[in-house]
Amino acid sequence: MSKRNDWLIGLGIALITIILILFMALFSSRDRSSDRIKISSGGNKIAVVELIGPIYDSRRIVRQFKQFGGHKSIRAIVFRVDSPGGGVAASQEIYEELKKTRETKKIVASMGAVAASGGYYIALPADVIVANPGTITGSIGVIMEFPVFKELLDKIGIEFEVVKSRDHKDIGSPFRKIDKEERDLLNAVAERLGTDSSLMIAGIILCLFTVVFFIAYPKFRTIE
């Protein structure tokens, strides 16, 4: 009886696992196809691409610009941006895709309540940028920040021993303060990201150890 119960439990776990895998695969498939829009042929259309919230992933935006940029019936694209910024790489990828799309389509960047940091940066390749009088934009620069718990840990008697292979392997650790050499190194990185013309990072926020990503799924639509 015990062996039979074990077998039934194992079978139940296997079935639940299979169901979860199938559900995740189905959800993932729908998610990938949700940003594909059926565009009817003929006529002149204006496509609208919306990016709402922090920039953490460029794939949806890039795919939509590629789709609209390659369709003959699309005459122009309105890029609605309402974002405080986000990741460096994702912002760069969106920026580069807008540059490519602008070669074949007119792009108008429309700034919402906030278009700061990366949100400002990704709007730059547009042919025209429009904003409301109350739009918060700009914030060009790079910031690095991380918490330091050393004094708190000292009060409760907790110490951390670190074994590392390189001098700066634990740079930015919250368990100790950075020294002058490390501060100079981080300042150099921030300056390079903020001033290198090949990067043009406009206010991208780099939060070490305490980054919080607010997932925002961009919405897209085509207006006839």
Q: Catalytic residues, which ones?
A: 117, 169
Which two structure tokens, joined as six digits, stand for 209?
A: 């150890």
d(CA 140, CA 39): 37
